[in-house]
Every structure is written in C-alpha cells, then in structure tokens.
Chains A and B, each alone.
Chain A
Amino acid sequence: MIEPSDNLLLNQSETISSNLAEIIPHINNLFSDTSDLVIRKLTIKQTGEKAILVYLDGLSDKTAINRDVMRPLQFEAGSGEPGDELIMTVSQIVPVTSWAQIEIALLQGSSVLFVSGRSEAYVLDTQGWPQRAIEDPQLETSLKGAHQGFLETGGQNIAMIRRYIPNRELKMKRVIVGRRGQTVVTILYLADVTDPNLVSTLELRIQKLDVDVILNTGELSELIEDHPFSLFPQFVTTERPDTAASQIMQGRCVVIVDRSPSVLVAPVTFMSFFQNIDDYSTRWSIATFLRLLRIFAFFVATFLPAFYIAVVSYHFEIIPMKLLLTLGESRGQVPFPPFVEAIFMEITLEMLREAGVRLPAPVGQTVGIVGGIVIGQAIVQAGLISNVMVIVVAFTAICSFILPNYDMVAAVRLIRFILMILASLFGFVGLVVGLMTMIAHLISLKSLGMPYGSPLAPVRFVDWKDTFIRVPLWLMKKRPTSTKPIQEMRQGNNRLKEDDL
C-alpha cells in the first residue's frame, strides 16, 4: 500500500461553505504554490449575487470560459431572484458539494463556479487541454486501412471506435485508476457478443490496482497480464481505431487508457500477433502469402543466428561442400569463436536499432551510414567478423522487421539471445530443447484466462481459417472461438448462387 500524502487525506465528505470569504482561503490552501490557478471574482447580473470562478490556466478552454460563462453571467439579466438557475451556455453544469469532487474537477480542467450564499458549487464543462490533431499511426502504418490513429484523449478515442461500431450493444465500463493520476480507464465490449466473464475479470483486475498513476497503456498491460515473467506479450496494444473495432467485433475487450494513444486488446492468442488489419483489405491469396511469410520470418528471426552458431561450432557435416569452402574461408580469418562473433554482431544490431529509434530523424540517417558502412563493410574487411555472419545478422534483422507487432519483435529479440547461448553450449540439442521449451511455455500461457496457444493448442480447427491462411471473408461466418463469444455467427451467406443472380 502507498502511504497517502497529506493532500489525499483531505476529508472526502467535507462540504463547501456558502461564504465566499471562507472559500477563497480554502482554495488557496488546497492549491498552494500553484501559479496556474486562476480565481476570478465577479458579480452575476441576473441575480446580483457575488461569485468566483476558479480554473486552472491552460487546462481549460479560455474561449469557452469567456464566451459561455463570463459573458452570460455578467450581461444577461434574468428574473433576478437569488438562488435561480444561472444562465450559462456551457453544455454541462454539475452541482457539487464536496471539496474532493471540486478538487478533481479542477485538476481535470473543468472550471468551478462558487456563488455567495449557495451551499453548492457548479462544475462547468470547459475542459480544453493541449491536444494534437489526428495523425497517421506511427507504429502500425497501413497501406489500405484508415489513416487515423488514436489520440491522447480517451473520449476522442472512444468516439473513433464508435464511428466504426454505431451499435447500442457497444458498452463501456469505466474505472478510475491511480491515486494521484486519476486515470480514466474504459473497457469497451459488445454486450451481446463478448463473454461476460472476460469483461468482469478484466474489470476486477483493473479495479484492484493501487498505483500512483498510469501514464501509458503499456503500464496497465504489465500490471494486469496473466504471466508477468513470460517473455511473450499477452495483450495486443494497438494505435489503430479500425484494428480496435475489428477486435471488438471478434468478441474481445478493448481497454482505453485516457492520455495514452494506444489501446489494449484482451484476450489475444499467439497468432493474433501475426495478423494485421491490411490482411482483411487485401485479396485473400495475398493476405495468406503474407501471413505465411510472417510465420516463416518469426522462426528465422528467432533461430537463424543460433542455427549458424550450432552448425559452425558443432555440426558442419550438414553444410554442403561448396558452402563449406566459402564459409571456411571467411571463418578462417576471424579471430573469435562463432558465439562471440554472433553475439557481437547481434548486439551491434540491437544498438543500431535502438539508436535509430531514439534519435531525431536528421541524425538518424547518420546511424544508418555508420551502421551500414562502418560496421557492415569495414568489419568484414578488417577480418573481425565473417561475411556470412553479416548476412545472417542482416537476414535476421529483415525478418524481425516483417513482424507486424512491436511487442512480439521485442520478445523475439530476447529469445534469440537465449537460443544463441543454448546453441553455443549444446549445438542442435540445445536448439531443440530451446524450441521445445518455448512451445511448452507458449501453450501453457493464458491471456485473460483464455489459452494463448489457441487455435493450435488447444486445437480448434474452426479458427484455422484465420491462422496460417486467411480464407476468403465470406467463408469466415463465425467469430473466433478462442474468445468464447456468446453470439457465434457474424455473417450470413454473402456469395449469391448462380440461380440467385
């Protein structure tokens, strides 16, 4: 448990006084050393009452405050009775009485109006924090899909999903997480499709959280996943509204974390990480080809360097003769054992990649040149690394770039190193043991209580329609069974028979 600080010890039930002279010091006391707090005194023309308007500069929309609050209050004349409903043109006015509510409202960008003589304050919906425009998603670019990515505002993100699913069965569960952060976390699901157990499990896990703040979806995902020590990601995070909508339609839950531009999808299977929204908008044969390519790339990216080490240090009898000659020649001048050579190159690759991610674009180019020319070419000419190793590393890198999910790529990177160590110690035996352990681990994993290995283990042939191959859309009449949806059918006959035409 976190020790609550003094601020949090505030008496939740303490109500506001009706005397403005008491209110102002109270606010100043609450928000001491808060230079962006604005307290505006005014007289309401309509009733003649004294009032103060309090808001945080920058978090509130000033135009709205000026136009919809200050102006009507100061210029509109009404019936004139004190205690009347005030004339304001803001969309939402919530009367509150406790200081705790007022504090939260202020911190979230609303402005609060205290009126002399009234024992309630009004929370006015004037939120307007800094926001960027909707842009193309950065991590998951798509060729044919929409070019809208999620934003940092939860409400906007919900709206973007709603645009895809205008259906009243799209329900939401709202949980506030974080003592300090008060992060609004919303679970979206289709009430007549999604298994209610999933929703309640997810909600329970989020409710149980006791943290300071959740800044990003990744934090939430790490806090609520089933196997925190596993290398594999157990939830998909996406920054694409269309992907999120498609997942909801498949009976999954989507968790939107306010202030984070990516949303979390649960439960997912291992094969979800090989799917991409473009798979469904390209022709099915192409989509199938790409899917198989990704699965192949997964194995190459995981095993190739380890395989190289095993072959060169233990099992060179399997190398074809002509390759043996070239490989031997290039290995012959390398002063390091194969494992050191491979680890060195792989770590260089990881460093280049990390450098490329963090550096601003103009400097990023330099990294490419340094990596490509200095490391790639010079290192071979200097005889430090064999050129076959450079090819192996390059091929591995390309294969890991094909995988559409960043989290899975990260997992693959780590597993690769483990396998390399195993291969250097035991050759193929180590490699096979590594593979078996990996598979055993994969099929024992769960995502939100649902088997992670589905539809491969447990075998669910119905779901294979969207696993290794992507069958034509009109054949996928059922939702994936891995999420145990209540409503299984998702479409009827979509191909007209010849006599129907």
Chain B
Amino acid sequence: MNVRLLFTLLIICISLTGCSDEITLENAATPLAHGIDLDEHNKFRFYNTVPLFSKTTKKKSQENSGTAYSLRQSKAQQDAFSPGSIQGRNYQVLLIGKRLLQYEDWFPMLDVLFRDARNTVMDRVIAVDSPLSDVFDLNSKDQPMLPILLRGMVETKSKISETYSTTTQELHRQFHEKGITPYIAEVEIVEKKIKLKGSALLNERGKYEVSFGAQETVMLNILQKKAKPGLSLSYRIPDKPNKGPFATDMLSFSAEKIKTKVITSFQNGRFQFDFHIKMTIGLSEHLFPYDVARDAKKLEKQAAALMQAQIENVIKKLQKHQIDPIGLGLYARAFHYKEYKKVKDHWGKAVADATFHVKVDLTIGAMGPVK
C-alpha cells in the first residue's frame, strides 16, 4: 500500500514539474530576422520582423523597431508590439547596419545570443550598406518575405563563393581567434530592392574596413581554400579586339578543380606567404574566335596572369587595411610560433608588412561543345 501511495505521489510530483517552460508555436512570436543599428543620434536601435500566423491579415509579417540599451533589455519593448512572446529561436538572418559598423567593439552587444542558449546561433550575419529601417520597411507584398529572401540570397551565393554565409557562431569564432579577422556578407538597397554586394571585411575589433564585390570575394575564397568547384570568373583578354559596343574580348570560365597551396616562412624580420593556386577550368564563354584545341597554352597563361593580378590586388587591399580574413595568422602560429607570438596582438600590422608571392596555374579542362 505504501508503495502504491509513493508511486502515486511520484507521478503527481513529476506531472506538476512539467509544462513550466511550455510555449506553443502559435503563442510565441518568432522573429525570423533581427537587426541592430545606430540611429541618427547614435542611439542603439533594434529591428525585427515577426511572421504573423493569421489568415485574416493580408500582410504576413509585422516589423518592429525601437531604441534600447541592449538586446535583452529591449525584450519587453519587442514584446510590447507583438501578439506573442518574442523568442529568439528561429532567427534566420542577423542584419547589422553600416552606421554601427563604423564603431569598434560592438560585438558584446550580441552577448545574449550566446549566453541565453535558447537563442539560435545559426543565423547568417549580413552587413547592410543602407539604413536598416529602410530594409525592414521594404518587407513588401510583392517580394518574398525579407528573411527568406536574404537567407536564400546568402546561402546560394556563398555556394559559388561570391559572398560569405557567416553564422553568428562563426562570427564569434572570428572575433575571438587572433589569427583571423571577421568577414560577413553585405547587401544594399538599390531602387527599393535588396541587392547583394558581396562581402564586408571588418578589422579585429569589428570596425568596417572594406567591401569586396563578387569576383574579389571569389579570389578571397580561393586564398582561404574555401572555394568550391562551380565558381565562375570573367576577364577581358587584353590583346583581343573590341568591336562596336560589344565587349568581344570577354572570356568566362568556371572552376572544376581548385587547389591552393600556402607556404609560410619568416625572412628578414617579416613573414612571407607563398600562394600557389592550381585550377582546372572549363570555358563557359569566349566572345572572340580562338582555337582552344590547338592553342590552349597561350590562353591559359593570359587568363592566369589576369587572375594573378587580381589576387595580388586583393592582397594589397587587405594589407592596406591591415586585416587578415584569410586567416594567415593561423599559418604563422602553426609554423613560426616564436615570431608570431611577438606580433600576435597587432597581427594586422604584421600582415601589412609581410611579403606575398602569388602564382596561378590554369589548365583548360573543357572548351565546351562548340568550336
């Protein structure tokens, strides 16, 4: 009898402890995009867009924004607009305004995303080169929902190396890893539409330094050994004639095999990085007549030289801004720890001082089915 009583009590106790953190999907407000920026008075401002689960409303989402001190402190304010309780579990994208990126050390503002483990850290971080309020107001009926649009944009383009799909978790790593500086995707608003710009590179304290367009981002990806087959490049071959209004000197190719080799050395008090990039490419267009079957070598050399110049240009830009999105610090730390230790706190400067050698070898693997 005692056992039975105990058992009953146990079941009651167990049942009573349940349900405490229950919040059903329809009672929660799950913002899919959130953004942080500064307003014109340099006050911290949050933005979010919450999908509305209702058949009666025409607009499928609700946009909120407000001034606050921090993200968690703003929760009450966010809740105040919403029919449900705001839950940060389903963020798809985190938008960061350019105005905020002009300042250093903003990263701790995101602390709640990591400290409250209910919040997702798989949302993609995107820099916005327009006022953030414009982006959230754009969430219009004739376009896909803003979070779907942005997430899709970043996901698909990062597969062909034209931007970065940096998660909040990855950003956390990039901020705390001394041998690398953060890089994120960047968008802007052009004619009331969101357009992907490429990537935004930050310095080690989070300040915006420089933006790269699609092709430069591809180069950076190649240097990072992150580029995957499928990326596409276009160059104008210098010795080809230009007829009329058409750029008939255009050559485009896509990469089939990419191999990047990095050799790290330390000479004369400075680091030296030798990049050797080997790529097998498939031609996807050349607007000038060319007998590729017979004379592939020459074209390979020409394209390789153009690519090499572009990569060197990319590296120069990085050196100028004293940033290291390639993660060269990791190589330096692995191969020349003693020297690295001395400069690790101002690694950006060490990169600016370093010498680089880039060598590009292209092999044409496919010329397409037409002559």
Give chain A's interface residues, CB within 8 Å of chain B.
312-314, 316-317, 319, 321-322, 324-325, 327-329, 331-334, 337-338, 424-427, 430
Contact = CB atoms under 8 A, between A and B. Distances in A.
Interface in B238-254: none
B24 A337 contact: yes
A321 B90 contact: yes
Nearest to B15: A425
Contacts of B18: 424-426, 430
29 contacts: A312-B24, A313-B22, A314-B21, A314-B23, A316-B25, A316-B30, A316-B87, A316-B89, A316-B90, A319-B25, A322-B148, A324-B32, A324-B51, A324-B90, A325-B145, A327-B25, A329-B53, A329-B54, A329-B55, A331-B24, A331-B25, A332-B54, A334-B26, A337-B24, A338-B24, A424-B18, A424-B22, A426-B18, A427-B21
Contact of A328 (B15, B51, B92): B51
B168 to A, nearest CB: 14
Nearest to A386: B26
Q: Which A-B residue pairs are the 4 nearest by beta carbons?
A: A425-B18, A332-B53, A317-B89, A328-B53
A77 B21 CA distance: 96
Given A327-B25, A328-B30, 8 more contacts: A312-B25, A316-B25, A317-B120, A319-B25, A324-B32, A324-B51, A328-B26, A425-B15
B55 A313 contact: no
Interface range, B side: 20 to 34
B30 A313 contact: no
Contacts of B148: 321-322
Contact of A321 (B23, B54, B151): B151
A430 B17 CA distance: 12
Contact of A314 (B22, B30, B120): B22
B147 interface: yes
Contacts of B343: none
Main secondary structure of the interface of B (DSSP, over half): loop
Interface in B144-162: 145, 147-148, 151
A359 to B, nearest CB: 37
A328 B25 contact: yes
Contacts, number: 72
B10 interface: no
B160 to A, nearest CB: 22
B28 interface: yes
A321 B32 contact: yes
Contacts of B60: 325
A426 B13 CA distance: 13
A336 to B, nearest CB: 10
B293 interface: no
A328 B29 CA distance: 10
Contact of A325 (B14, B19, B22, B51): B51
Nearest to A338: B24
A337 B23 CA distance: 10
A425 B15 CA distance: 7
B45 to A, nearest CB: 25
Contacts of A425: 14-15, 18-19
Contacts of B14: 425
A186 to B, nearest CB: 40
A331 B15 contact: no
A316 B55 contact: no
Contact of A331 (B19, B23, B53, B145): B53
Nearest to A325: B51
Contacts of A324: 25, 30, 32, 51, 90
Interface in B84-139: 87, 89-90, 92, 118, 120
A313 B24 contact: yes
